[in-house]
Chain A
């Protein structure tokens, strides 16, 4: 192979990567627009709890997992209860285990120095888009099925938009908050109910949620403090364990 051929081959791979990255961008754009309102609401809610334009991007930039951030902000006190927040974050994000395991066969061929940073960008959206693309490519015989530049193209805009718009929300929060102090408390349940609707897979699958709701409500009425969250979550998990035995 002559030097010009090597250069050409290199250039083609470079272009291929750029094209794959742009293909990822295109795949994620429609979903990207959907997360902007979530980000603004989270930032605004965080500002109600005393987190500002420094703390909010610190959280959303390092943690980058919306569901756990909504839960943490809801439970946020001054000073924050670190163990409780870490435990709730773990429970909300435990689905990542399943997502990573599903992705594993497709990323096994990649070096770890690429896999570990790439997994940092794994959120519900980038995972869904990346896995669907890998399955499609595998079905049509393309190798490797998993395209890292495509995944990065799909994931990076989510990351940047999430950090940027949660920060905007934090900046706007104090302005909005003062106007509607009264009804603003309903914003939390509203957000959570929409998140739950997104996870809904029929009534049978939601029975553990009902157990969680009832137990958490009872514990809240009887026991002081934030124990109701742990009690409700754990009893729901136990219910899920027993209900799964029916099948």
Chain B
């Protein structure tokens, strides 16, 4: 049995996303955006992603903070799956070591 609220949330996501897909074609095709508006739109996805994980940067657990530092370093060098493995393994190991 699927939860109706889950279905609603998914439909809301789908509707909003499709609007963003056709919006540029429908609304912006005959306009030029100001450089400022362009800068804001280009920064938007990164601003959201970093905000979502911001709590991890102020964690009260030193082991988690150390693991996050290792994960940041891994993310600058490695691809997706190795970074996740390094992040999860370092968090698991440091929590166990630093208790």
Contact = CB atoms under 8 A, between A and B. Distances in A.
Interface string B11-22: 111111111111
Nearest to B54: A216
Given A183-B92, A190-B83, A213-B54, A82 B20 contact: no
B39 A243 contact: yes
Interface string A138-166: 00000000000000000000000000000
A64 B15 CA distance: 11
Given A55-B10, A94-B20, A119-B21, A193 B71 contact: yes
Interface in B79-99: 79-81, 83-84, 86-93, 95-96
Contacts of B46: 196, 199, 206, 208-209, 212, 236
Interface residues of B, number: 76
Contacts of B83: 190-191, 193-194
B48 to A, nearest CB: 5
B77 to A, nearest CB: 9
Interface in A116-150: 116, 119-120, 122
Given A41-B80, A86-B13, A101-B28, A91 B48 contact: yes
B95 to A, nearest CB: 6
B76 A191 contact: no
A185 interface: yes
A223 B78 CA distance: 35
Given A55-B10, A90-B20, A213-B50, A190 B58 contact: no
Contact of B89 (A54, A96, A108, A183): A183
A99 B24 contact: yes
Contacts of B3: 78-79
A236 B90 CA distance: 30
B10 A86 contact: no
Interface of B: 2-3, 5-29, 31, 33, 35-36, 38-58, 64, 67-68, 71-72, 74-76, 78-81, 83-84, 86-93, 95-96
30 contacts: A41-B81, A51-B6, A59-B13, A59-B14, A63-B13, A63-B17, A67-B45, A71-B48, A85-B12, A86-B16, A92-B44, A93-B20, A95-B41, A97-B27, A97-B28, A98-B38, A100-B23, A119-B25, A122-B21, A185-B64, A186-B88, A189-B71, A190-B87, A194-B83, A196-B49, A199-B45, A217-B54, A229-B51, A236-B43, A240-B47
Interface of A: 34, 37-38, 41, 51, 54-55, 58-59, 62-65, 67-72, 74-75, 78-80, 82, 85-86, 88-105, 107-108, 115-116, 119-120, 122, 180, 182-197, 199, 201, 205-206, 208-209, 211-213, 215-217, 220-221, 228-233, 236-237, 239-241, 243-245, 247
Ranked nearest first, the 4 interchain pairs of A and B with the lowest CB-CB distance are A100-B24, A232-B51, A183-B92, A236-B47
